[in-house]
A and B are shown apart, each in its own frame.
Chain A
Amino acid sequence: DAKTTQPTSMDCAEGRAANLPCNHSTISGNEYVYWYRQIHSQGPQYIIHGLKNNETNEMASLIITEDRKSSTLILPHATLRDTAVYYCIVTNDYKLSFGAGTTVTVRA
Chain B
Amino acid sequence: NAGVTQTPKFRVLKTGQSMTLLCAQDMNHEYMYWYRQDPGMGLRLIHYSVGEGTTAKGEVPDGYNVSRLKKQNFLLGLESAAPSQTSVYFCASSYEEGAVDGYTFGSGTRLTVV
Listed stretches A16-24, A44-52, A62-70, A75-83; interface member: A44-52
Contacts of A97 in B (CB 8 A): 42, 45, 59
A95 touches B58 (CB 8 A): yes
Q: Is B102 a contact of A36 with CB atoms below 8 Å?
A: yes
A44 touches B58 (CB 8 A): no
Interface size on A, residues (CB 8 A): 20
Q: How many A-B pairs fall under 8 Å by CB?
A: 55
Q: How far is the CA of A99 from the CA of B40 in the complex (A)?
A: 10
Place the interface of chain B in its size category. 20 to 34
Check if B99 sits within 8 Å of A98, measured CB to CB: no
Contact at A87–B42, with CB atoms within 8 Å? yes
CB-CB under 8 A for A46 and B102, given A94-B96, A95-B33: yes
Tell whether A100 pairs with B58 under 8 Å between CB atoms, given A44-B103, A94-B31, A94-B97: no
Q: How far is the CB of B1 from chain A (nearest CB, A)?
A: 16
Known: A43-B90, A44-B43, A44-B90. A96 touches B103 (CB 8 A): yes
Chain A interface helix/strand/loop/mixed: loop
| CB neighbours of B48 from chain A (8 A) | 95
B105 to A45, Cβ gap below 8 A? Answer: yes
Within 8 A of A (CB), among B21-51: 31, 33, 35, 40-45, 48, 50
For B40, the chain A residues whose CB sits under 8 A away are 100
